[in-house]
Chains A and B, each alone.
Chain A
């Protein structure tokens, strides 16, 4: 199970990295494995400002559909449009090419409240 130590995590199995006040968000290796073959990533909240834990999109695997929750309050400024044609990137490279959105954070201090890699390992029993 790949759980990079430089990232932060949520109980909803998302990962977050930050650069300045911009956060990049995707789902974890564990999450993509549990979902199976991902066939559709739907984000209809581009340019919207949402609160932490609000639903910002949906990820559909062949067998299941799962909501995506915003890890940090802010404006969704970018969606990884390459996922429209190649949603399988979420399976093959969840922490790289499979990233989902970028957020302009309203409150960067929220980042420190997210789970560390060790916390996340505990959560999933890895």
Chain B
């Protein structure tokens, strides 16, 4: 099991550490509910250094990225980022990722920790044709997410960049917490605004300490992976391995908006056909009508108790105090307002299909 550059820091803060995607990661410090609430109403900082980073450069960098990703990376200007996915050859998804355009001919791909090797091999396979320069810098780089409505105000003293002017899914490379050439990106996985900060491992301790110091007056707290999951689920953001995987199509997963047929890409022909016909099943968002908590892998059943689908993510929503989840059902059951049931142990608990996000600020 690997450590991030901050694992000892988390231990000293009293975090509960769990193995996740090959790393010892903080799952919570004070408790998931208080951490969740901190990000929704104030500001919190996450160490998500387990995430993987690839640099793709050279004259054919864009051509390679266009081939392997579903979104249209030609729309990216320097300083912009986009959410995208890597479709596989058989209709599923290798991974979801963020593509940053760093320079004229250089892109940064940020991928899930559990998929670093799989993604690298997949992209390398297609790179035989393009010969772009590929570098896996995951081991040397750290990533902090500073999230919440007070993030801009709380962090402004740490940088000469004007944080309030960095728009969602834009970034700057600038000074932060006394370190030069830090990527300050207005992205995140919480739906509460804020930044993600990429820096070198040897720099991250200083950044972490200064972030906590600058945030004191704003009630900043360190936040663990448990709250990261409840925060993202309240927004309906997909989690790779739960809601999307090698077998789920981007259209079934509601990721049509990042699947652009303005270009040819891996499996684009088959995906275009799927788009035309509509997917056979869809990822839905649902709320329980009665008390209970849906969990990954619980059955979704119809009124007669017949299995019609499966829950892929579920939790008690800390913001709303009710059971919420995502799951796949045949398209006929996917309309907003449809009544379904979630099989929780012996009980089929009624639930309603709702529109995302669950949580509206």
Contacts and interface: CB of A to CB of B under 8 A. Distances in A.
Interface of A: 36-37, 39-40, 44, 58, 60-63, 65, 91
B346 A62 contact: no
Contacts of A58: 345
B33 A37 contact: yes
Contacts of B33: 37, 62
A36 B31 contact: yes
A1 to B, nearest CB: 13
Interface in B3-53: 16, 27-28, 31-33
B315 A62 contact: yes
B291 interface: yes
A63 B346 CA distance: 20
Contacts of A65: 293, 295
Interface string B293-313: 101000000000000000000
Nearest to B292: A40
B229 interface: yes
Contacts of B292: 40
Given A37-B32, A39-B293, A63 B345 contact: no
Contact of A62 (B16, B230, B291, B345): B230
Contacts of B295: 65
Contacts of A62: 32-33, 226, 230, 315-316, 318
A44 B28 CA distance: 30
Question: Which 4 interchain pairs have the tightest Cβ spacing?
Answer: A39-B316, A62-B32, A37-B33, A63-B226
A40 B317 CA distance: 12
A63 B291 contact: no
A40 B345 CA distance: 14
30 contacts: A36-B16, A36-B28, A36-B31, A36-B32, A36-B226, A37-B31, A37-B32, A37-B33, A39-B293, A40-B291, A40-B292, A40-B293, A40-B316, A44-B346, A58-B345, A60-B316, A61-B32, A62-B32, A62-B33, A62-B226, A62-B230, A62-B315, A62-B316, A63-B27, A63-B32, A63-B226, A63-B229, A63-B315, A65-B293, A91-B31
Contacts of A40: 291-293, 316
Contacts of B32: 36-37, 61-63
B332 to A, nearest CB: 30
Contacts of B27: 63
A76 to B, nearest CB: 16
Interface string B197-219: 00000000000000000000000
Given A36-B28, A36-B32, A39-B316, A60 B293 contact: yes
Interface string B317-333: 01000000000000000
Contacts of A63: 27, 32, 226, 229, 315
A88 to B, nearest CB: 9
A91 B34 CA distance: 13
A3 to B, nearest CB: 19
A62 B37 CA distance: 13
A40 B315 CA distance: 11
B347 to A, nearest CB: 8
Given A40-B316, A61-B32, 7 more contacts: A36-B16, A36-B31, A37-B31, A39-B316, A62-B316, A63-B315, A65-B295
Interface in B220-244: 226, 229-230
B314 to A, nearest CB: 10
Interface centre among B32, B292, B293 (most CB of A within 10 A): B293
A114 to B, nearest CB: 27
Interface centre among B16, B27, B226 (most CB of A within 10 A): B226
Contacts of B316: 39-40, 60, 62
